[in-house]
Amino acid sequence: MFGYTGVSNKGGEVDLESGETLYPGLSYGENQLRWGFIRKVYGILAAQIVLTTIVSSVTVLYSPINDLLRGNSGLLLFLCFLPLILLWPMYIYRQKHPLNLVFLGIFTATLSLTVGVSCANTDGRIVLEALILTSAVVSSLTGYTFWASKKGKDFSYLGPFLFTALMILLLTSFIQAFFPLGPTSTAVYGGIGAIIFSGYIIYDTDNLIKRFTYDDYIWAAITLYLDILNLFLTILRMLRQGDN
């Protein structure tokens, strides 16, 4: 779905395989270790995206699975809440191999089923447009963050603002379930959501470069995966609403 081998930006092309200094003041040895950590995280993230693509494709193409999930609201609701439950053991065992990979696989597969249901009930053209837009946004923001970090910029200040915005977004989503918003309000809600998750991609990529410890490769991959997945679903809802 998305690629990370290299992304273009105003400062040139950022190659994740290069040994360029990630940010000013980083020693050569630490820089090499950090690049190794980043490659490991993006490798796990790529595996998650491939798994999501496979599971979602099977859900879309094999109608009995989609019909089962659509016809059983209790099962679908369980699959929606299961990833939230799995976050706890994943955080506890994030540094314990192979339990961290087992929980990560279950977490990714569960989310992939819900994504597949969303895609199966959306026109294929809209899904493709959402994929293209998400890929473009993720690639450009990732490249920008690496470039800005090399120039000495820091995005840690975004954390409190993004968290507050996310809480407001979740509260609005909960209210919307009981009091549906109009088309204009839904479009504005979707646009704000896309901006928030785009901000999280920058913030979490900056954390990947500077703040995640080397043992937190699972948790780093999870945060980026959720950022990308939520951005895709938000764009998908916006395009679907616009099409309607």
| Highest averaged pLDDT of the listed ranges 61-70, 85-94, 155-164, 211-220 | 155-164
Which has more pLDDT, 39 or 119?
39
How far apart CA 15 and CA 21 sit, in angstroms, is 12
Q: Token match 């065992």: residue? A: 93
Extract long-range pairs of 82-90: CB within 8 Å, 24+ residues apart.
Answer: 82/110, 83/107, 83/110, 83/111, 86/110, 87/222, 90/218, 90/219, 90/222
| Nearest-5° Cα angle at 2, 185 to 238 | 10
At 42-75, the pLDDT tens digits run 999 999 999 999 988 888 887 777 777 777 777 7
At 193-202, the pLDDT tens digits run 999 999 999 9
| Residue 166 Cα to chain centre, angstroms | 14
User: Residue 35 in contact with residue 19, Cβ under 8 Å?
Assistant: yes
Does residue 224 surpass a pLDDT of 90? yes
At 168-221, the pLDDT tens digits run 888 888 787 777 767 677 777 888 899 999 999 999 999 999 989 888 899 999
At 122-135, the pLDDT tens digits run 888 888 999 999 99
How far apart CA 217 and CA 236 sit, in angstroms, is 28
pLDDT at 123: 81
How far apart CA 150 and CA 210 sit, in angstroms, is 11
The interaxial angle of helices 124-150 and 217-243, nearest 10 deg, is 140
- Residues 69-83 have a mean pLDDT of 76
Bridge partners (DSSP) listed for residue 12: 9
Indicate the average pLDDT of the chain. Answer: 84
Global pTM value? 0.84
pLDDT at 243: 63
